[in-house]
Structure 1
Amino acid sequence: MKVLHVTPSYFPATKWGGPIRSTKAICDGIHATPGMKVQVLTTDAASPDRHDRVIPAALPYPVHFARRVAGHSIAPGLLARLPAAITWADVVHLTATYSFPTLPTLAIARLLGRPVIWSPRGALQATAEWDDAPNARAKHLFEKAAQVIRPANTVLHVTSTVEAKGSVARLPGIATTVIPNCVDIPALPPKTLGDGLRLIYLGRLHPKKGIDLLLDAMERLPATTTLDIYGTGTPRYDAMLRSRAARFAGRVRLHGHVEGPAKSTAFAKADLFVLPSHSENFGIAVAEALAHAMPVITTTGTPWQALDHQGCGRCIDMVNADLAAEIIGLTNGDLIAMGRRGRAWMQRDFSAGAMNAAFADLYEGVTAPAGERVTV
Structure 2
Amino acid sequence: MKVLHIVPTFYPATYWGGPIWSTKAICDGIAAVPDVELQVLTSDAAGPAISDRVTPATLPYPVHYARRMAGHCIAPDLLARLPRAIHWADLVHVTGTYNMPTLPAFALARVLGKPLVWSPRGALQATEDWAEAPHLRIKHGFEHLANIFRPRDTVLHVTAAQEARQSVRRLQGIARAVIPNAVDIPVDLPQRQRDGSGCRLMFLSRLHPKKGLEALFDTMARLPSRFTLDIYGTGDAAYARMLQLRANFSNGRIRMHGHVEGKAKAAAFAGADLFVLPSHSENFGIVVAEALAHRVPVLTTQRTPWQELERHGCGRCIDLSRSDLAAEIAALAEHDLLQMGERGRAWVRRDFSTAAMVAAFEGLYRDLAGQGFQEVMV
Q: Taking structure 2 as the reference length, what is the TM-score of the superposition?
A: 0.97
SS of residue in 1 equivalent to 2:11: coil
Q: Which residue does 2:176 correspond to in 1?
A: 176
Alignment of 1:191 with 2:192, yes or no, is yes
Q: Write the mapping of 1:299-310 to structure 2, written as runs, cut at 5 A.
A: 299-310=301-312
Q: Write the mapping of 1:352-363 to structure 2, written as runs, cut at 5 A.
A: 352-363=354-365
- In the alignment, structure 2 segments of 5+ residues that lack a partner are none
- Does the CA-based 8 Å contact 1:158-1:177 persist in structure 2? yes
One-letter amino acid matched to 1:266: A
SS of residue in 1 equivalent to 2:169: helix
Task: Using the aligned pairs only, state the percent identity.
Answer: 63
Q: Which residue does 1:25 correspond to in 2?
A: 25
One-letter amino acid matched to 1:178: V
CA distance in structure 2 between the aligned counterparts of 1:375 and 1:278, rounded to whole angstroms: 28
CA deviation digits over 1:127-176, x for unaligned, max 9?
Answer: 00000000000000000001001100000000000100111011121111
- In the alignment, structure 1 segments of 5+ residues that lack a partner are none
Name the CA shift for 1:249/1:155 in 2 (closer, same or farther; >3 Å): same
SS of residue in 1 equivalent to 2:70: coil
Runs of 4+ in 1 over 4 A off after TM superposition: 192-195
Which of 288-297 and 32-41 deviates more?
Answer: 32-41
Q: Write the mapping of 1:331-370 to structure 2, written as runs, cut at 5 A.
A: 331-368=333-370, 370=371
One-letter amino acid matched to 2:314: C
Alignment of 1:231 with 2:233, yes or no, is yes
Q: Write the mapping of 1:10-159 to structure 2, written as runs, cut at 5 A.
A: 10-159=10-159
- Does the CA-based 8 Å contact 1:128-1:170 persist in structure 2? yes
**Distance apart, 1:192 and its partner CA:** 6.0
**Distance apart, 1:375 and its partner CA:** 4.8
**Distance apart, 1:296 and its partner CA:** 0.2
Q: Write the mapping of 1:238-317 to structure 2, written as runs, cut at 5 A.
A: 238-317=240-319
CA distance in structure 1 between the aligned counterparts of 2:346 and 2:49, rounded to whole angstroms: 38
CA distance in structure 2 between the aligned counterparts of 1:269 and 1:309, rounded to whole angstroms: 25
SS of residue in 2 equivalent to 1:248: coil
CA distance in structure 1 between the aligned counterparts of 2:327 and 2:118, rounded to whole angstroms: 40
Count of residues in correspondence between the two structures: 374
CA distance in structure 2 between the aligned counterparts of 1:318 and 1:201, rounded to whole angstroms: 16
SS of residue in 2 equivalent to 1:164: helix
One-letter amino acid matched to 2:42: T
One-letter amino acid matched to 1:298: T
SS of residue in 2 equivalent to 1:310: coil
- Does the CA-based 8 Å contact 2:93-2:117 persist in structure 1? yes
CA distance in structure 1 between the aligned counterparts of 2:373 and 2:135, rounded to whole angstroms: 37
CA deviation digits over 1:180-233, x for unaligned, max 9?
Answer: 000000121243654411000001000000011111110011112110000000
**Distance apart, 1:50 and its partner CA:** 2.3
One-letter amino acid matched to 2:348: M
Name the CA shift for 1:334/1:375 in 2 (closer, same or farther; >3 Å): closer
- Does the CA-based 8 Å contact 2:297-2:337 persist in structure 1? yes
- Does the CA-based 8 Å contact 1:189-1:264 persist in structure 2? no
**Distance apart, 1:297 and its partner CA:** 0.1
Tell me which of 330, 333, 336 is aligned to 2:332: 330
CA distance in structure 2 between the aligned counterparts of 1:172 and 1:333, rounded to whole angstroms: 46
CA deviation digits over 1:47-78, x for unaligned, max 9?
Answer: 22222111111100000000111110100010
- Does the CA-based 8 Å contact 1:310-1:341 persist in structure 2? yes
CA distance in structure 1 between the aligned counterparts of 2:120 and 2:216, rounded to whole angstroms: 27
One-letter amino acid matched to 2:190: P
Q: Which residue does 1:200 correspond to in 2?
A: 202
One-letter amino acid matched to 2:239: Y
SS of residue in 2 equivalent to 1:229: strand
**Distance apart, 1:6 and its partner CA:** 0.3
One-letter amino acid matched to 1:177: A
- Does the CA-based 8 Å contact 2:193-2:338 persist in structure 1? no
- Does the CA-based 8 Å contact 2:219-2:325 persist in structure 1? yes
CA distance in structure 2 between the aligned counterparts of 1:174 and 1:341, rounded to whole angstroms: 37
**Distance apart, 1:374 and its partner CA:** 3.5
SS of residue in 2 equivalent to 1:348: helix
- Does the CA-based 8 Å contact 1:46-1:52 persist in structure 2? yes
One-letter amino acid matched to 1:322: D
Q: Taking structure 1 as the reference length, what is the TM-score of the superposition?
A: 0.98
One-letter amino acid matched to 1:133: A
